[in-house]
Amino acid sequence: MPMLVKATTSERCQELLIKIRKTCLFATVVCLFVIVFAGQAQATSSITIAKPARNKTIPESHDFPTERFADPWDMSKYTDLSFGQNMNDLGRITWKGGTFTARTTGNDPSIQPLFAGFEGVLFNGRDGYINRIPTRKYNRFSVRMYSSRKTSGQLFWFYDQRWSKFGVVTFTIEKGWHTYIVNPRPGGKWKGKPLGLRLDPGQRADTKIKIDWMRLYRQTTRRVKFEWTDSAPKGTTKVYLDTDKNPSNGNKDLLKVKSGRSSDVYYWDPSGYSPGNYFLYVKPGNREGQYSRRITINRAPLTKIFNPDEMGGKDYAGSVTRDPWDMAQSSDIWYSRNLKDVVFSKGYLSAVPSTGDGYFHLRVPTKIDADKYHRLVFRMRYDGPFHYGDGTMSRVIWSPDHHNINLFQVSNDIIVYPTWETYVIDLKKASLDQGTIGWNGLVDTFRFDPLEWRARRRFQIDFIKLRADDTANKRFTVKWRDAKKVRRPTRVSLYYDNNKSGFNGRRFAKNLLQRKGLNRFTWNTSRVPAGEYYVYAIAKDGKNVTKTYSSGPVQIVH
């Protein structure tokens, strides 16, 4: 029995010792937890966001390419940089996923979102000569850009095609992704109607650059109020703009550095930013920051009118001869000279100039009424890169009498590009390289020169048309499309005007519900006085209003 008692006492002592050890271990864990928690509490944000109190959508500010071309400079294709014309000191150029990427090869890299056009050519499309910038309306430039190093950039604007009359602003480019707001107005040089715009994205060779978007916009007085409180203010507080809620992925832009306060506010100007989703982010010192609610900048309606338009309506060959110049067969042309490997296949004419003067005459069995059929429309492409000096240009030649060489009229050059593009030229307004008659009277021979001078490249032509203006007697079908990817419910009203200016015409359709894709409305023109009219559309989506004229007129005849 005594031995049993001793064993029991020993076991109790061991149990007591284990409890004491567990208690000490628990106390240690508690102490460590308190220390860790205290450290975490010190790093936790003291910020509370007061405004904006909820997600909000705001309108996009007026933007030149959006309103002029219904196509913003969003870097989705090379037309956003004037078909890649006159890029200097840049290599490894790509457009992918809505981003323009290149690497500088010299100390003077440049791109041109609005190229003025070459002297002595027939302007069309996006040439700046016929798409001049109204500086009183658009007063700021912005660009979202990445640079692999810190450098400096420049924004130029030109008033002639020799780049001798210009204005310029220099700004600092930081490493990484940043949004740059450029004010061209100081110094008073931003005035009149410039016909060219150039951006120099750096001044050092071997620099990688990326561009997400560019805007030439009108700065507004609209501001987004960003308000917060800080329960432990000290040091400085930084305000950022971000496109997501990840502060460490390099997307955010520093907007302002402020002294820490218990309550503060920042007013953000959204007018320089591309449509999309944004978040304001406030970070006090080395503590955790806080994001605002989502702020969405609404994309304005990208309305484009397709009928009437500058391409016109009735086609000479298709309507008069019942056989359009669609290049479906060799009978579409009368004869050709200085062209080799001529092939008609899959609806295309394909050939290679054997000299600097390759051409073909189109079939003209009945004389062309030049006063009626004056809109030249053609679609073509060629192999190899664009090179102005190498003759990547076309021209047309015509005559009222193909037997009399002294009567041949020669147009100025039409600049053409390697990819499939459609070109529209009003021959009544076309400047001439040779001749005095112009596009008038009756024409019995019509010649097309696909590539001039030294360009020995294979070209393909899809079609050539000579069209009349759109016409109507009792009714006319107006057609339009909205190119927005994400659409809001949109209402469209239609008007007609006789001078394509001022948006002060007469309404003939009110609050039409716009549908996805091509929209149509049959306009009763029976009581409209005979004459030439331009149609315009006013589109409203609840946030933005877009006003758009047709690129060509409709002739009302009774």
pLDDT at 181: 97
| 47-59+221-298 CATH fold | Immunoglobulin-like (2.60.40)
pLDDT at 337: 96
Q: Could you tell me what percent of the chain has a pLDDT over 70?
A: 92
**Per-residue pLDDT band at 43 (split at 50, 70, 90):** low
**Digit-coded pLDDT (tens) for 388-418:** 888 999 999 999 999 999 999 999 999 999 9
pLDDT at 389: 86
Domains 64-217 and 316-468 belong to one CATH topology:
yes
**Digit-coded pLDDT (tens) for 327-362:** 999 999 999 999 999 999 999 999 999 998 999 999
The domain made up of 303-309+471-556 is a member of CATH 3.90.1640.30: no
pLDDT at 455: 82
Mean confidence (pLDDT) of the chain: 91
The predicted model gives 200-204 an average pLDDT of 96
pLDDT at 75: 96
Kindly state the helix (H) or strand (E) to which residue 20 belongs, with its residue range: helix 2-43
Q: Could you tell me what percent of the chain has a pLDDT over 90?
A: 85
The highest-level CATH class for domain 316-468 is mainly beta
Least confident of 79-83, 330-334, 514-518: 79-83
For residue 440, is pLDDT > 60? yes
pLDDT at 305: 98
Least confident of 3-12, 152-161, 380-389, 458-467: 3-12
pLDDT at 349: 98
**Digit-coded pLDDT (tens) for 313-334:** 999 999 998 999 999 999 999 9
**Per-residue pLDDT band at 534 (split at 50, 70, 90):** very high
Q: CA-to-CA distance for 179 and 341, rounded, in angstroms? A: 51
The predicted model gives 191-209 an average pLDDT of 97
pLDDT at 4: 31
∠302-308-310 over CA atoms, to 5°? 85
Tell me the DSSP string of 141-206: EEEEEEESS-EEEEEEEESSTTS-SEEEEEEEE-SEEEEEEE---TTS-S-S--SEEEEE--SSSS
The predicted model gives 370-380 an average pLDDT of 98
Query: Domain segments of the chain: what residues?
Result: 47-59+221-298, 64-217, 303-309+471-556, 316-468
Least confident of 2-11, 284-293, 313-322: 2-11
pLDDT at 356: 87
Name the residue with tokens 């933005």.
544
Q: Is the dihedral of CA 260, 263, 264, 265 positive or negative?
A: positive
| 64-217 CATH fold | Jelly Rolls (2.60.120)
Q: Record the tokens describing residue 69, joined without a space.
A: 């071309």
318: helix, coil or strand?
Answer: helix
Exposure b/e, 130-167, CB count within 10 A at least 16 = b = ebbbebeebebbbbbbbbbeebebbbbbbbebeeeeeb
**Per-residue pLDDT band at 25 (split at 50, 70, 90):** very low
Q: CA-to-CA distance for 533 and 554, rounded, in angstroms? A: 5
For residue 5, is pLDDT > 80? no
**Per-residue pLDDT band at 44 (split at 50, 70, 90):** low
Bridge-partner residues for 375, per DSSP?
Answer: 426, 467
For residue 3, is pLDDT > 50? no
The predicted model gives 202-210 an average pLDDT of 96
**Digit-coded pLDDT (tens) for 457-495:** 999 999 999 999 999 999 999 999 999 988 789 999 999
Q: Which of 215, 94, 110 is nearest to 153 (CA)?
A: 110
